[in-house]
Structure 1
Amino acid sequence: MSGPRRQPGPRGPGGLRVIPARRHGQERLYVCRPDGHNVAWYDREAARVHLLSEDAREDVLDALGSFLTGPVAVGPPPVPTPAELARLSLHPDDDLAPNRPGEALLIALDREPGPAHRLRPDPRRRALGAEQAVGDALDRLDGAGWRTLHSVVLPGGDRIHHLAIGPGGLLAVLAVHARKQRVRVSDPLVALGRGAPAPLLRLARSLADRASYALTAEVCPVLALTAPAELRITVPPRAVRILRDEEIEGLARSGGLLKPAEVEALYATARDRNTWGRV
C-alpha cells in the first residue's frame, strides 16, 4: 500500500517517532515504532489521539507532548449509542454483510468459468474451497458473540478474506488451501508442498495494517490453513497467528478485549463498503 509522504521526526519514549503527514486532505501526526508500524495518530482538526494499542498510551502521549495544544480526546472513537447505530442503515450496494465466504471468487468463476478441458483443477476453486471452509467455521462463532464479514475488497485489488470481530478482538483472516500438503513457515515465507515459498505472512500483516487504519482499532493478522498434512514452523512468525481450520472454533473461548457494544459498533463501521475506499 502506498502511504503518505513522511518526514522523519524526533524519537520519543520507547523509540517512538512522530511523523507529520497529510492524508486524504487531512493533516495528521503519525506515531511509529522503530520498525515503521503505526501505533497511533493525532488528528489535529478533531483534537483526538487515535490509539491502535492501549498498552502504548503513555509512551504515545509522551512522544506527542510538544505537539498537543489544549485538551484532546484519547482512544478509539466513542462507541455509538443504539440510536446512532440505528441510523447506520446502508444502501444494499454498500452493505458488505450479505457477502458469502469467497464472494469475489464466486463472482469471478461465474463470469469466467474457465475451459472445461482443463487438465488440472482451477486454482481459483481450491482457493474458494479454503475461503468457504474458514468462513463457515467463523460464522459458527456467531453464538459466542462474534461477527464476521467475508471478502472485503480493498483499493488496488487486495482482499481481506474474512474480518472477524468478537470478544477476542479483531482478526483479519487470510485463508490458504493446504489440504494434504506439508506446510513450512519461515517468516515471512510460507511453502505449501513442493511449491515455491511465498511471502504470505507479509501479506497477512499488510492486510491487518490496512484494516487497523480503516477501523481505528488494533487488528490481528491470522493465517488460516485448511486441512494441512503437516505444519512446521522454523522461524516463529512476528505478530501473526497461524491456525488450522479445525482450531478456529477455539476462538469462542477467547475474550476480554471487546465488549458487546464495541463489537457491534465496529461491525457497523466495517460492513460499510465506503469504510474501505481509502486504505
Structure 2
Amino acid sequence: MDGLRVVPTWRHGREQLCVCLPDGGNLAWYDREAARVSLLNDDRREDVLRALAPFLTGRVAVGPPPVPTRAELARLTLHPDDDLAPNRPGEALLVALERDPGPAHRLRPPRPDARRRALAAEQTTGSALDRLDGAGHHVLHSLPLPGGDRVHHLLIGPGGLFALHVLPARRQRVRVADPLVALGRGAPFPLLRRVRADADRASYALTAQVRPVLVLVEPARVTVAAPPRSVRLLTDRDLPELAREGGTLKPADVEALHALARDRATWTRL
C-alpha cells in the first residue's frame, strides 16, 4: 500500500478519515455520514480502498470530490485564523482559563470559579447543538463581538437563525420577569436586554433575522411572570425543539449564511 496512512480529521463539521501519502499529502477522504470516498487521484483507487477496507461499512460511493458550491468556495478562501467554524463550545472561556487558571489554594478548598461554571454550561449546550449539525443544520460556537461580548452559540437551519445565550443554573430556581432574570436568592439583573441586543447585532452582521434564545442549563425550577418579548426560553433538555423548526430557509440559504457567519470579518465590522 506504499505506506498509505489513514488519519481521522474534521471537515465541514464532520469527522472524516483522510488517506495520506507518506509525505503527508492527501489522496482521498472517507465521509462515513455521506457514505462516500472522494478520490483526488483515481490512479490510486485500489490502494485507497485497501487502506480504508477496515473502516468501510455498507455500500459506499467512490469518485472525485463533489463540485463545491459558491458557499463552499467562499469558505475555502478563508485564512485559518479567520475561520470560526473550529471554535469549541466556550472557546473564549477555555482560552481565558488557560491564560489565567486562577489562584492555587493549598490551605483551603478553592471557591468555585464562575468561569468554570459558565464553561460547563456552554459545553453542555454545545454538545446538544452539535448533535443537530449535519442534519440540515450548522452550529457555530463562541462568536466574538466587538467590545468583548460573544454570541455563545449560533444555530443555522431550515427554521432560521438562532442566537443562544447560555445561563448556568444548576440546581437553582430561576425567576424571569422581562427584562429581569434572577438565580436562586440572587438579585435580578436585566439579562434579557443583552440576549436581545446580541441577536440584533447578529442580525445586522448577517443581514438576516436572528432570533434570541436564552438557554437555562440544569435549573431546579423556572418561574416566568409573563412570556418575554421576542426571547425564547429553553432548558438544555429542550434544545432538540429547535431542530423541528422548518419552512424558513432553503438549503442553499443555510449554506450561504453559514459561510458568512464563520468568517471572523463578518463580526469585526459591527
* TM-score in terms of structure 2 length: 0.72
Give the C-alpha shift of residue 84 in structure 1: 5.7
Residue identity in the other structure for 2:146: P
Summarize deviations over 1:110-131 as a string: whole Å, max 9, x none. 0000012263210000000111
Please name the residue that 1:171 is paired with: 162
Residue identity in the other structure for 2:84: L
Number of equivalences: 199
Residue identity in the other structure for 2:231: V
Please name the residue that 2:87 is paired with: 99
Residue identity in the other structure for 1:198: F
Distance 1:84 1:155 in 2: 25
Residue identity in the other structure for 1:148: V
Residue identity in the other structure for 1:124: R
Distance 1:141 1:101 in 2: 14
Give the C-alpha shift of residue 142 in structure 1: 1.4
Summarize deviations over 1:213-268 as a string: whole Å, max 9, x none. 00000000000010100000013200000000000012221111111111110000
Distance 2:175 2:161 in 1: 26
Identity of aligned residues (%): 67
Residue identity in the other structure for 1:125: R
Q: Which runs of 5+ in 2 are unaligned?
A: 1-67
Q: How do 1:65-144 and structure 2 match up within 5 A?
A: 82-83=69-70, 85-89=72-76, 90-117=78-105, 119-144=110-135
- Mark the structure with the bigger radius of gyration: 2
Please name the residue that 2:42 is paired with: none
Distance 1:151 1:276 in 2: 12
Residue identity in the other structure for 1:247: D
* Superposition RMSD in Å: 1.3
Please name the residue that 2:257 is paired with: 266
Residue identity in the other structure for 1:262: D
Q: Indicate yes or no: 2:227 matched with 1:236.
A: yes
* TM-score in terms of structure 1 length: 0.69
Contact 2:154 2:163 in 1 (8 A): yes
Summarize deviations over 1:154-206 as a string: whole Å, max 9, x none. 10011100011011110000011001000000000100111111111100000
Q: Which runs of 5+ in 1 are unaligned?
A: 1-80
Give the C-alpha shift of residue 83 in structure 1: 3.7
Q: CA 1:112–1:253 in structure 2 vs 1: closer, same or farther (change >3 Å)?
A: same
Distance 2:99 2:74 in 1: 35
Distance 2:74 2:244 in 1: 32
